Structure 1
């Protein structure tokens, strides 16, 4: 058997070599090679494949899955009955590899070899992406393509490989499919293959199936092979000019020119007392020096609400850190056990508690009440639709700019093995559903294809703002009736999410698992509870109530006593920590699902956290916080607070750019997680500063005359 196989291989190799040389010397078409491939190589390969594998495995002491993959994939070449160009290039690739041709060896060297770390849940073996895409053999018209092949196998039917000497489980048993949601499924491996780009995903999938399925079948392992087209990246051999590239370039050049002209105009020409013309207003609005001065000068304004700046700064830090951790849950990792430990470790509960965003809802409700009531006291009336329109023209310029960045800039920021799989869907969602963002219905319409995941907050905040305006108007005109209506809506805001969680057996907190975080939009809690305005209204109403209490305290000149401030501060610290650590209870492996626990948690946690924020706001606004007041009045807090809106919008671009461009699994630790989070925050702040100076601040000035 061995001799006949060797003779057959030698004969096949010599025949192919002869035909290739003959075709090249006579300048014939590659049809001779294609015909030979179809009539000889494919048929003989299919007939002898299982026997060849059987002989190969019987004569080697296989210890692990990596042995099977290495022994079968080391001789891999793309084979196709339908794609003649792929067949031809596959033969030439194999022949040149045996001859140690540089381009063929580079292609082979870029592919995955012996995958390791599977028992630590390292299921990604991404090879060498950049080296693969540089490979070319122009004289043969062969260029490269990088593809990830997903191998999913079922270990449940495998025979027992234990020797019986040791009582512990075998490595094979460790890979058996289990129902533990906290353990990442490692019955799936992602392997990198570098092939000629004439071979498409379907060709690669069939070629891998031919050799891998029988190999694993020999060990009673059922195997499925997938090649996702979004994980297939051909080398850019036909780079065509894209019309949108010119539009993007012209747009940025125009903005830069306007900023430069406006800055020079503002610095050289002093402002006169006469009424400025529209062109002068436009130019001065884009003055870089003027906008920077206003950002810094506003930061030195010692308002009574200095705690708001500090709270907004802390809130945006928590959000950026939390979103980094969320994306790391689904990113390639050398030691996914580290992530699994975060899942189940009780004392790491603060990392899994997405309650930080409630800070912004409470502050938004509080400021809305205070600002609107003050305006009503001065003018005794106001037009609700005008106020809503003012808010729209204030937030839409930056919002639309970031949507533009998602659609046209983000896909060109980087590349990588997973880039198309991670980033391109985000781009397509924005191309299709940008209008839902503009209308602020993105948290209700096409939510599973939502443009910009963090944008759900803007929709909720706009809905709350409209509801708040109506409530404040009613309270101002008919206080008792308004308070009764307010109390009724507040009760409903508690009842609706509680009923939905109980009826649909949902979690009251985000269910962090690797599979859930791979597609957050499909998570039931996120899609049905987390992003819905009618389920998030309660904390905004708490902010409105805080604004109402503040106005009463201000009228009565109420001051908190020193004792109440000390006791309240201690109680706030305790309750704040409880709000975060209570989340850990639901992630304990031994805890069974109980809908009542999740109902109570979702309601009480958010209400308690909101009251902690309210206490800080009221004490700061009515009483002296001493040294804490000085800390909260730090200029850096005020500067960042003015940038939080832009930071919130752009930080996900930073995260997607980093995660999508990963070349190989990363070893994770707490230190690396902190490093990445700090880097995200700094880079997001830099992007936000540019957005503020070039878009947000100028449009505030331009639209100011129309808002008054």
Structure 2
């Protein structure tokens, strides 16, 4: 028995040695081989160079992934290909065969894209893969035959079973059909049957070939299991590592003009209200939330239903049954304290209209002789337009060169093309009325509105100073029209009582009806400006003798509390229109009164702080650090959406929607936006305004009360500086409140 065991052990050792020897021989014989297509396939030797030595490849045939790749190959071969598509087909075949052999370049390319969509049911629309991996292969410069490009495809999934669409009673019933879940879409949420898929494909592939390849891959994914039909389109040019944007004449002209601006110097510092800077910060935060949610996020479901309350809105035109189903999971969130406070925060813009009207009248009311209104309008135009023109120039000439990424070209197209087309409308101050579907810089609608208000107000006030009765009559008619018109337009067009910041709106504000009809039009936003003008006139009337202590502290505190309460009620009541039953007449009344009512609250707050003593509020808003920051508010307004857009659309992968991160990003936007605003002020605004003042000045001006300051339309009130040290020694003796914004 002992010898038998020894004999078996010896035979086993001999067998193992033979097996090892065979493997070594096979390994030696395989040295120098590269991936080859099976005999009969065209392009079998693509990627092989004479004299090159390649490492042996690991064969993965027989695995589940190999079965998947074989299936893709079979489907591609069975289709009819044109002669123009043959090079792409050969490259794809080589890619798939090389992938089966686990060749590095093929695994690299395939790994750069998602083989199938993930997280679609959680509203993860953007399947971007790895853009940089596709564009930056280490051998891109040495092996041109392996060149790839990155293409974006838009896909819309449609069910093919022709099932009758029925009312969804339980949108989250786990045993229902996933097709019903994908098809069901509440009015405020993003669609689940649409996705953007990034593909890393051979450079020889045309858009139509990419569409067919993605169709094959999608059909073999879990989304193709139910037989959903995919409408795939590649409409944007694909990106390649060899694509470099050539600097055009606009780019170099911008740099040249920047050097010219460096020759000019800033002459002084102006003081602004603290509320101005805090308000623009809140607007930056709102826009950060909106633009961030319009970009690629991985948890769009959570954003729509629970966290991104600013995007929730239900139009009154939606059938009651559909609206009811949406309210099942949205009304609770909309009625939350946070939702009620942020859903109608577009009222912050009316704060700027009020401040502008307030400060205009305080500048001109004490003038014994009113200057030529045309010169005042010219100064106002230069005040608003110089920095705005520089930003438009930047968007047209430089902005496209400041980023890259899967979605970057799309983001640039949404801004640069419109500005290159309609920049002249902005310069003419008519961009909020002419071709508003292609408005250059969406938030710029504010600028022509402010300019229109100034022109009309100055002309009417000029008539009032000459013919008081006629001036009062014109002002009365103008005020009544400013209040009534928004309500009438709202009722005629059956619009929502408030602007709905839905997912469709943040994705494409230029395509929203309310945005064009009421939100950006001067004749529907004038009321808040007039409230500011009248409250400013009241301030001038009761402060002529220099005595500002007219209200006792208790009454000023009560007045401040009433102002804050009025503002809170207006904002919260407007948010309720997003979920409760809609009545056209009630909506029209609210549309007419909500903005002037908000402005009245801000005006009451300002007057209580001016004529009384409100210890906490007044000291906070008068805190000296707000002075230089608020001076940069206009520049921050012009630049912040450009910075946000770049941050959002250079991303390579969907981001998790975290509101602390959004707040953190907003702080960064405010910081860099202020830096940009400072540069605009130093190199554009201050020099241009100073130059205009020199050109128009016929003789020295001894007091600012006679002529508006050259850099802005201002009012001067005595103030005691709270600073000390070197900075204090360089401050002016008076505080200038600019009404530019």
Picking from 121, 127, 130, the partner of 1:128 is 130
Per-residue CA distance 1:641-674 (angstroms, 9 max, x = gap): 2111111111111011111112111111221221
1:372–1:472 CA contact under 8 A, matched in 2 = no
Structural mapping, 1:155-170, within 5 Å = 155=159, 157=161, 168-170=174-176
Structural mapping, 1:496-511, within 5 Å = 496-511=485-500
Q: Tell me, what secondary structure is at the counterpart of 2:543? A: helix
Structural mapping, 1:310-321, within 5 Å = 310-321=274-285
Instruction: Name the counterpart of 1:657.
Output: 646
Q: Tell me, what secondary structure is at the counterpart of 1:151? A: strand
1:430–1:450 CA contact under 8 A, matched in 2 = yes
2:490–2:588 CA contact under 8 A, matched in 1 = yes
Instruction: Name the counterpart of 2:427.
Output: 438
Picking from 340, 344, 358, the partner of 1:349 is 340
C-alpha change, 1:651 and 1:218, in structure 2 (3 Å) is closer
Instruction: Name the counterpart of 1:336.
Output: 300
C-alpha change, 1:215 and 1:207, in structure 2 (3 Å) is same
Q: Tell me, what secondary structure is at the counterpart of 1:112? A: coil
Residue 244 (str. 1) matches residue 246 (str. 2): no
1:150–1:189 CA contact under 8 A, matched in 2 = yes
Picking from 89, 113, 119, the partner of 1:117 is 119
Instruction: Name the counterpart of 1:360.
Output: 352
Structure 2-normalised TM-score?
0.76
C-alpha change, 1:195 and 1:19, in structure 2 (3 Å) is closer
Instruction: Name the counterpart of 1:610.
Output: 599
CA distance in 1, matches of 2:135, 2:355: 50
Instruction: Name the counterpart of 2:193.
Output: 187
C-alpha change, 1:69 and 1:105, in structure 2 (3 Å) is closer
Per-residue CA distance 1:425-474 (angstroms, 9 max, x = gap): 21000000000000000001110011011110001011101011012112
CA distance in 2, matches of 1:373, 1:463: 20
> Deviation at 1:634?
1.6
Q: Which moved more, 1:131-140 or 1:331-340?
A: 131-140
Instruction: Name the counterpart of 1:100.
Output: 102
Instruction: Name the counterpart of 1:14.
Output: 38
CA distance in 2, matches of 1:185, 1:132: 28
1:501–1:599 CA contact under 8 A, matched in 2 = yes
1:175–1:187 CA contact under 8 A, matched in 2 = no
1:423–1:660 CA contact under 8 A, matched in 2 = no
Q: Which moved more, 1:394-403 or 1:406-415?
A: 394-403
CA distance in 1, matches of 2:645, 2:91: 35
Instruction: Name the counterpart of 2:689.
Output: 700
Q: Which moved more, 1:463-472 or 1:482-491?
A: 482-491
C-alpha change, 1:75 and 1:565, in structure 2 (3 Å) is farther
CA distance in 2, matches of 1:194, 1:553: 70
CA distance in 2, matches of 1:519, 1:22: 44
CA distance in 1, matches of 2:201, 2:173: 45
> Deviation at 1:512?
2.0
> Deviation at 1:406?
0.4
Q: Tell me, what secondary structure is at the counterpart of 2:570? A: helix
CA distance in 2, matches of 1:330, 1:529: 23
Residue 309 (str. 1) matches residue 273 (str. 2): yes
Q: Tell me, what secondary structure is at the counterpart of 2:618? A: helix
Residue 518 (str. 1) matches residue 518 (str. 2): no
Residue 325 (str. 1) matches residue 289 (str. 2): yes
Residue 374 (str. 1) matches residue 380 (str. 2): no
CA distance in 2, matches of 1:22, 1:419: 32
Instruction: Name the counterpart of 1:154.
Output: 158
CA distance in 2, matches of 1:248, 1:177: 51
CA distance in 1, matches of 2:371, 2:173: 79
Residue 233 (str. 1) matches residue 225 (str. 2): no
1:333–1:667 CA contact under 8 A, matched in 2 = yes
Gaps of 5+ in 2: 1-35, 52-61, 165-171, 313-329, 698-741
Structural mapping, 1:374-413, within 5 Å = 374-375=366-367, 377=368, 379=369, 381-413=370-402
Picking from 401, 422, 425, the partner of 2:414 is 425
> Deviation at 1:102?
2.5
2:556–2:613 CA contact under 8 A, matched in 1 = no
C-alpha change, 1:487 and 1:678, in structure 2 (3 Å) is same
C-alpha change, 1:388 and 1:235, in structure 2 (3 Å) is same
> Deviation at 1:245?
7.4
Instruction: Name the counterpart of 1:639.
Output: 628
C-alpha change, 1:523 and 1:391, in structure 2 (3 Å) is same
1:134–1:235 CA contact under 8 A, matched in 2 = no
> Deviation at 1:22?
9.5
> Deviation at 1:413?
0.8
CA distance in 1, matches of 2:44, 2:204: 18
Instruction: Name the counterpart of 2:214.
Output: 208
Q: Tell me, what secondary structure is at the counterpart of 2:45? A: helix
- Structure 1 or 2, whichever has the larger Rg, is 2
Per-residue CA distance 1:447-503 (angstroms, 9 max, x = gap): 001101111000101110101101211232333432232121111112222111111
Q: Tell me, what secondary structure is at the counterpart of 2:347? A: coil
Picking from 643, 662, 667, the partner of 1:673 is 662
Picking from 579, 582, 600, the partner of 2:570 is 579
Residue 620 (str. 1) matches residue 644 (str. 2): no
C-alpha change, 1:73 and 1:620, in structure 2 (3 Å) is farther
> Deviation at 1:415?
1.1
> Deviation at 1:218?
7.2
CA distance in 2, matches of 1:218, 1:518: 27
Q: Tell me, what secondary structure is at the counterpart of 1:195? A: strand
Q: Which moved more, 1:664-673 or 1:240-249?
A: 240-249
Residue 567 (str. 1) matches residue 531 (str. 2): no
CA distance in 2, matches of 1:411, 1:627: 46
CA distance in 2, matches of 1:95, 1:74: 9
2:250–2:396 CA contact under 8 A, matched in 1 = no
1:72–1:215 CA contact under 8 A, matched in 2 = no
User: Alignment RMSD, CA only?
Assistant: 3.3
CA distance in 2, matches of 1:110, 1:215: 17
CA distance in 2, matches of 1:171, 1:673: 35
CA distance in 2, matches of 1:401, 1:75: 56
Instruction: Name the counterpart of 1:177.
Output: 183
Per-residue CA distance 1:53-86 (angstroms, 9 max, x = gap): xxx9xx99xxxxxxx9999779997985233432
> Deviation at 1:566?
2.3
1:134–1:144 CA contact under 8 A, matched in 2 = no
Instruction: Name the counterpart of 1:486.
Output: 475
1:319–1:356 CA contact under 8 A, matched in 2 = yes
C-alpha change, 1:637 and 1:664, in structure 2 (3 Å) is same
Structural mapping, 1:213-224, within 5 Å = 219=225, 221-224=227-230
CA distance in 1, matches of 2:653, 2:619: 46
C-alpha change, 1:641 and 1:70, in structure 2 (3 Å) is farther
Q: Which moved more, 1:637-646 or 1:72-81?
A: 72-81
> Deviation at 1:172?
0.6
Instruction: Name the counterpart of 2:326.
Output: none
Picking from 49, 66, 91, the partner of 1:89 is 91
C-alpha change, 1:441 and 1:69, in structure 2 (3 Å) is farther
Q: Tell me, what secondary structure is at the counterpart of 1:316? A: helix
CA distance in 1, matches of 2:291, 2:394: 20
Q: Tell me, what secondary structure is at the counterpart of 2:655? A: coil
> Whose helix proportion is higher, 1 or 2?
1
